[in-house]
Amino acid sequence: MYVPTPTQRDSQPTAGPWWPVIGPGFASLIGLFLLTVIYRFDGESPLQIDLGMSSQSLLLNGVVAYVVAAALAFPAGLLLGARFPTSVTLPALALMFLGVVLVAFVPGSGLLLVGRVLNGLGAGAVLGVTVALIRRLRAGRGVAAGVTAGLGVLALVIAPVLGGLLSEAIGFRVVFVVAALFVLVALVVAGVIGIVTLAKPKHA
């Protein structure tokens, strides 16, 4: 008696939709922007001047700490992000928000280090979630990866220019306050997408 075997399509996991990438993707762009916004291409940054920091101190407390924290959090976002994107993204954005607010009102370089570590942990986690969700896409994966990578590079490059201009005009603290508002927007977007994902009926 002939028994039909499952088709190859049936044995493959269902590909995820593209719209859950929006929340963590937007948060990742904010995180990349915040990585380089403390620098200026044409001299010392207002943050460095206001806090009385040397170039080495700014590099260690502002950049190296951020990158190391992001590198530590990235694997968690990558491993858990495909299955639990909202559960990873929301706490990561909360860490980002705390870090940005701390930097906005920091009185010295010591707390700057704490703020940048918190910010880096959140940014690394949401970046991992973004990569995990893009890898799960079956259609348009290359386009999504290319657009996200291009916007990420743009955020890294434009941050010192835009941050420097705004810092000289209104102060670096206001720049981070505005960044905190954008993190809140990303938090709301990720939360709404998470609710919609849970409410959407799953097809067998």
The pTM assigned to this predicted structure is 0.83
Q: Read off the DSSP letter of residue 38.
A: T
pLDDT in tens, 53-110: 888 888 898 899 999 999 999 999 999 988 888 899 999 999 999 999 999 998 877 7
196 pLDDT band, cuts 50/70/90, is confident
First-residue to last-residue Cα distance in the chain: 28
Mean pLDDT over residues 104-128, rounded? 90
Query: 1 vs 155, which has greater pLDDT?
Result: 155
- CB atoms under 10 Å from CB of 75, counted, come to 12
Angle between helices 22-36 and 141-170 (to 10 degrees): 40
**In terms of CATH, what superfamily is 20-196?**
MFS general substrate transporter like domains (1.20.1250.20)
Token digits of residue 148:
């996200």
* 99 within 8 A of 37, measured Cβ to Cβ: no
Per-domain residue ranges of the chain:
20-196
